[in-house]
């Protein structure tokens, strides 16, 4: 049986994009601190700064692209394998993604044109390892290589033609890489906290230090802030936060009793944030809000499968 990108293997290490649905009471609205917003209606078109949004959905999962208002959806992959964690390639025109197309089990990093043509494989991990979560790092591609037997993860870098494979971090639990706009730093998650690694020196700096579990860091277009998701200890919900790029001034953007938000992505103009959210009793969908946590709107419909947010066009 094929494994969906949204399904974990039968092992302790969980793939970065795996989402576990909470079995809670129905919820029809999503709340920001001190107020309730969003009816599920699509927002109006946003003009030239709206950009195009990449995401993965289905089972097996495929890569899709749509406008920032949820319209003009195009399916980019149809291989019958599992494609996920899409992102824009270093040239800003092609699409990076992870796929198990070649052997039906182990994931490698691929790149394709934005219309789904010209597919090229960039990495071929060793047996028992996966390459996932690619992102453009200047002229390079940064990604996670995870050993699902030893249950370890580290960040690696490769040229956009698949050459010069280089390890960036020591691991053993590094995930969710997100390069800064200038390409000098990569934010990532280690043991549930946000860190950054200096690409040139490999020096690692810790930005958060709490008992909470952080995930999905995302740099603002200007490089001054990092958005991320946080889940508190125990049976708590996952909400979105933002902080300065040095880890100071952490501010909560959402506070949702029956909703889990994750994978925030900034709009090209820095005014909005897209994210995936699971309302209690529903499958995950993609939403957009203003960068201050207000004016939330769902942009993908309620369906019988999850929508995994990938990237917003630069």
pLDDT on residue 140? 96
CATH number of 30-312: 2.120.10.30
**Taking residues 215-232, what's their average pLDDT?**
96
Residue 21: is its pLDDT beyond 60?
no
pLDDT on residue 150? 80
Structure tokens belonging to residue 137: 């790092």
Interatomic CA distance for residues 141 and 88, integer angstroms: 10
277 phi, psi to nearest 5 deg:
-145, 140
pLDDT on residue 17? 40
pLDDT on residue 50? 64
Output b/e per residue, 206-231; b: 16+ Cβ within 10 A. Answer: ebbeeebbbbbbbbbeeeebbbbbbb
DSSP of 8-21: --SSSS--TT--PP
Residues 6+ apart with CB under 8 A from 10: none
Residue 24: pLDDT band with limits 50, 70, 90 = very low
Q: What is the mean pLDDT of the chain?
A: 84
Per the CB < 8 A criterion, the answer to whether 166 and 156 are in contact is yes
Lowest mean pLDDT of 36-45, 68-77, 156-165, 186-195, name the range. Answer: 36-45
pLDDT: is 198 or 35 the higher one?
198
Residue 314: pLDDT band with limits 50, 70, 90 = low
What are the pLDDT digits (tens) for 275-289?
A: 999 987 889 999 999
Residue 19: is its pLDDT beyond 60?
no
Residue 26: is its pLDDT beyond 50?
no
pLDDT on residue 248? 98
pLDDT: is 149 or 154 the higher one?
154
Interatomic CA distance for residues 204 and 96, integer angstroms: 25
Instruction: Tell me how far CA of residue 100 lies from CA of 130, 249, 281, in angstroms.
Output: 9, 40, 30
Residue 210: pLDDT band with limits 50, 70, 90 = very high
**How is the chain split into domains, by residue range?**
30-312
Interatomic CA distance for residues 289 and 170, integer angstroms: 35
Interatomic CA distance for residues 2 and 145, integer angstroms: 21
Lowest mean pLDDT of 16-20, 184-188, 290-294, name the range. Answer: 16-20
pLDDT on residue 86? 98
**Taking residues 129-137, what's their average pLDDT?**
97
pLDDT: is 195 or 36 the higher one?
195
Residue 110: pLDDT band with limits 50, 70, 90 = very high
Identify whether 172 is preceded by a cis peptide bond (ω within 30 of 0).
yes
Structure tokens belonging to residue 237: 């919900």
Instruction: Tell me how far CA of residue 73 lies from CA of 17, 67, 265, in angstroms.
Output: 21, 7, 18
pLDDT: is 32 or 238 the higher one?
238
What are the pLDDT digits (tens) for 33-60?
A: 322 233 333 333 333 346 899 999 998 9
CA nearest neighbour of 293 among 11, 23, 35, 6: 35
**Sign, CA torsion 78/82/87/90:** negative
DSSP of 19-59: -PPP-------EEETTEEE--SPPPPP-GGGS-EEEEEEET
CA nearest neighbour of 30 among 253, 297, 306: 297
Interatomic CA distance for residues 249 and 292, integer angstroms: 14
Per the CB < 8 A criterion, the answer to whether 145 and 153 are in contact is yes
Residue 22: is its pLDDT beyond 60?
no
What are the pLDDT digits (tens) for 226-272?
A: 999 999 876 678 999 999 999 999 999 999 888 899 999 999 999 99
In the structure, how many helices (H) and strands (E) does the chain have?
0, 26
Interatomic CA distance for residues 195 and 197, integer angstroms: 7
pLDDT on residue 180? 97
């Amino acid at each position: 049986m094929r494994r969906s990108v949204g399904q974990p293997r039968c092992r302790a290490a969980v793939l970065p994009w795996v989402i576990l649905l909470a079995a809670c009471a129905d919820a029809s609205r999503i709340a920001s601190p001190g107020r309730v917003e969003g009816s599920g209606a699509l927002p109006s078109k946003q003009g030239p700064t709206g950009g195009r949004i990449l995401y993965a959905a289905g089972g097996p999962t495929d890569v899709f692209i749509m406008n920032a208002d949820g319209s003009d959806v195009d399916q980019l992959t149809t291989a019958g394998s599992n494609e996920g964690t899409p992102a824009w390639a270093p040239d800003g025109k092609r699409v990076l993604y992870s796929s198990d197309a070649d052997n039906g089990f182990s994931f490698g990093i691929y790149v394709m044109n934005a219309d789904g043509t010209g597919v090229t494989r960039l990495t071929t991990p060793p047996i028992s390892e996966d390459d996932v979560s690619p992102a453009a790092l200047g002229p390079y591609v940064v990604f996670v290589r995870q050993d699902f037997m030893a249950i370890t993860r580290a960040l690696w870098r490769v040229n956009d033609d698949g050459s010069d494979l280089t390890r960036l971090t020591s691991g053993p639990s590094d995930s969710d890489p997100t390069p800064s706009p200038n390409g000098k730093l990569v934010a990532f998650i280690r043991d549930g906290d946000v860190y950054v690694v200096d690409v040139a020196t490999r020096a690692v700096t810790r930005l958060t230090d709490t008992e909470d579990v952080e995930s999905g860091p995302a740099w603002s277009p200007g490089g001054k802030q990092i958005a991320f998701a946080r889940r508190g200890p125990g049976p708590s919900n996952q909400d979105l936060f933002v902080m300065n790029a040095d880890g100071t001034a952490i501010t909560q953007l959402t506070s949702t009793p029956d909703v889990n938000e994750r994978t925030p992505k900034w709009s090209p103009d820095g005014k909005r944030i897209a994210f995936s959210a699971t309302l209690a009793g529903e499958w995950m969908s993609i939403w957009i809000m203003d960068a201050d946590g207000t004016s939330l709107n769902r942009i993908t419909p309620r369906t019988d499968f999850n929508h995994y947010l990938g990237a917003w066009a630069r």
